[in-house]
């Protein structure tokens, strides 16, 4: 029967490498929680909008956010329409439109 013939030392190195990689991958995943301060990017293609604020509600289909800043970013790297909101503006974002969540 065919297979990999690794020396015991190489086999141990492979096992430890796989263990380290699996621990690194799971440690980077994070789910948003109410009261987290985040930046949420929506859209894509020509432009995307980024909302910065605190999460107020999470359901199966949307995330509620008190937005204190928002910004439009264009695909060519230009940014425009940066807005500060005081008091924060409540915004509902559909889960399907979120392309990135960044924690502050």
- pLDDT, tens only, 21-77: 666 555 556 788 999 999 999 987 788 899 999 999 998 889 999 999 999 888 787
Report whether pLDDT(98) > 70: yes
Q: What is the CATH number of domain 37-103?
A: 2.30.30
The answer on pLDDT for 80 being more than 70 is yes
- Please check whether residue 52 is in contact with residue 103, taking contact to mean a CB–CB distance below 8 angstroms: no
Whole-angstrom distance, CA of residue 49 vs CA of residue 73: 6
Domain boundaries, the chain: 37-103
Whether the Cβ atoms of residue 27 and residue 5 lie closer than 8 Å to each other:
no
CA–CA separation, 89 and 66 (whole Å): 5
Using DSSP's 3-state secondary structure scheme, residue 27 falls into helix
pTM equals 0.68
Residue 55 burial (CB count, 10 A): 19
């Amino acid at each position: 029967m065919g297979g990999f013939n690794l020396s015991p030392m190489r086999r141990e190195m492979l096992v430890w490498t796989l263990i380290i990689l699996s621990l690194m991958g799971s440690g980077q995943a994070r789910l948003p929680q109410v009261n987290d301060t985040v930046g949420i990017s929506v859209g894509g293609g020509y432009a995307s909008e980024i909302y910065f604020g605190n999460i107020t509600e999470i359901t199966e289909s949307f995330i509620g956010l008190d937005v204190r800043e928002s910004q439009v970013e264009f695909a060519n790297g230009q940014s425009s329409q940066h807005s500060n909101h005081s008091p924060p503006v409540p915004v509902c974002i559909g889960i399907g439109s979120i392309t990135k969540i960044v924690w502050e």
